[in-house]
Amino acid sequence: MQTFDTLLREAELAHGHLCAGQILGVRLAMLGCERLGIDDPKGLVNPKDRKRLVTFIEIDRCATDAIAVVTGCRLGKRAIKFRDWGKMAATFVDLASPLRKDGDTPIYKAIRIAALESSKQRARDLYPQIENKNQQQMLAYRELPNADLFSEEWVAVPIHPREMPGYKSARITCELCGEGINYDREIHRDGKTLCEACAAPETRYYRPLTQEELSENSEAGAETSPQPAH
């Protein structure tokens, strides 16, 4: 395993600054790898360990970047699964040997690690003289034992082959918008093959700007980029 200081330095570079979240994230991910017996998750020395991990992360904050740095898991490689639960927790899934299969879906052994709510108080107890919370936690989170920072639980995680890194899927075209859909995310409805956005417009995270909004806000570039005609 790379040392804590090396990983923290890499995390600082990746994240843009050093903060308590980086320190907590590096330690959380190092602990996850250690529990799974994965010494070299990025396969720097031992290529056998590379691609052995999928990491579920339950928050998109500072620690998220640190966890990616330690594990080598990347969203763009499908090795990070983001669950937007707003919780400082991550689950490290060892792909090396599935426990068993449920139909087509292998079930893997994994360790879920969550930051303890009491860790902030532990930091206060350790460095009461430091008023700045971030400074206080940065120092304390380096030193406190794992048991003071994290809870751990062994869990089983099913991962369907289509969710795995490297899965090759057919590219399907949405019959309504004409955009391509990967990874079997198409939806069949009333004899049509549709993308998520067309099948369930109410769940879209966006809507087209109206003509009024376009002309109201010249920043949106009403003149330079008018709403394309359909």
Cα 209 to Cα 86: distance, rounded to the nearest angstrom: 29
Question: Minimum CB separation from Zn ion for residue 65, in Å?
Answer: 8
Question: Minimum CB separation from Zn ion for residue 16, in Å?
Answer: 8
Biggest CA pair distance of the chain? 67
Strand runs labelled E in 2-79: 53-57
Cα 115 to Cα 121: distance, rounded to the nearest angstrom: 12
Pick 24 or 111: Cβ nearer Zn ion? 24
Pick 21 or 72: Cβ nearer Zn ion? 21
What residues make contact with Zn ion under the rule CB under 5 A? Answer: 19, 21, 62, 174, 176-177, 195, 198
Pick 171 or 224: Cβ nearer Zn ion? 171
Pick 25 or 72: Cβ nearer Zn ion? 25
**Beta bridge partner(s), residue 94:** 53
Question: Minimum CB separation from Zn ion for residue 175, in Å?
Answer: 8
Q: Which two tokens stand for residue 64?
A: 């998220």
Question: Minimum CB separation from Zn ion for residue 188, in Å?
Answer: 13
* Residue type (1 letter), 74: R
